[in-house]
Amino acid sequence: MSNFDSRIRTSRITRTNVTPTGNTAPSFAKGALGYITEQVNEIPGAKFGSGMGIKPSFYENFEAVVWPAARWYQATSSGGGTATIVDGRGVLTGAGAANSGYRIRSTAPFRDNCGLKFKFKFPTTGQQFFTVALKTSGNIWDSTGDVDNAYAAEFQPGSNIMRIDKYTNGSRASMNTAYYPGSFTDDWWFRMEVQENSGGTDVRMKIWDASTNESAGWDFNQTDGGQLSPGNFAFWYVTGSDGSPRSVNIDDITFYSI
């Protein structure tokens, strides 16, 4: 466990048990056991990547039995997809049907400049699609079948591809494509950040094997000419057209301000 992760685990704060509506994040309160919120101050000396200090707003390590409704909402299943917790990890599954999957969004507070770090793996190989959407606002499943607004990374482990896209009012536009070796059947870390500049938004990402240290640089760093409204983050997972049941495992999710 890294020094950053260990300090996160010992600084937990819980939120009140409220149900969010629309794009309104719930209120928060101190408690005996729970998850980091925007009330947590920057962790002194914790620097990484862009050189910004860590200001955690949300942390999830799936200690509950189910995905807690107070921290996750706008959940949508297609073709029998499910969201479960198995052995202390969040699992999004596509059932035995073509394009089966599940979408789910956090109740983390909305941010203009934010980052997301989490651990993931795909237990089985084959055609599947896993999307990480950051600075998400609106719905994660609208009339066009896409998220309303977000910067998104879509993993395609069957072809070793990661797409980087921008969603604006439900319309997807490709920003770039990255290629990675391997099938991600073992644990990997992923970090993504979006940060507004004077004329647009910097979008940066990195991925690394969980058995190695995080690099100081970024695998992908690109400037978008526009700026999206403040948002939080969401995940969605879909199996391929062959209909084979597959899943993605997620753990140690940290959403933070930069």
Q: 3-state DSSP call for residue 113?
A: coil
Confidence tier at 71 by pLDDT (50, 70, 90): very high
Which pTM was predicted? Answer: 0.79
Rounded Cα distance, 204 and 221, in Å: 4
Question: How deeply is 235 buried, as exposed, middle or buried, from its count of CB atoms within 10 A (0-12, 13-18, 19+)?
Answer: buried
List the domain boundaries for the chain.
60-257
Q: Which pLDDT score, from 0 to 100, does residue 143 have?
A: 64
Q: What is the average pLDDT value for the chain, to the nearest integer?
A: 80
CATH class of 60-257: mainly beta
Residues 115-173 pLDDT 10s: 999 999 999 888 899 999 999 999 888 666 778 999 999 999 888 888 999 999 999 99
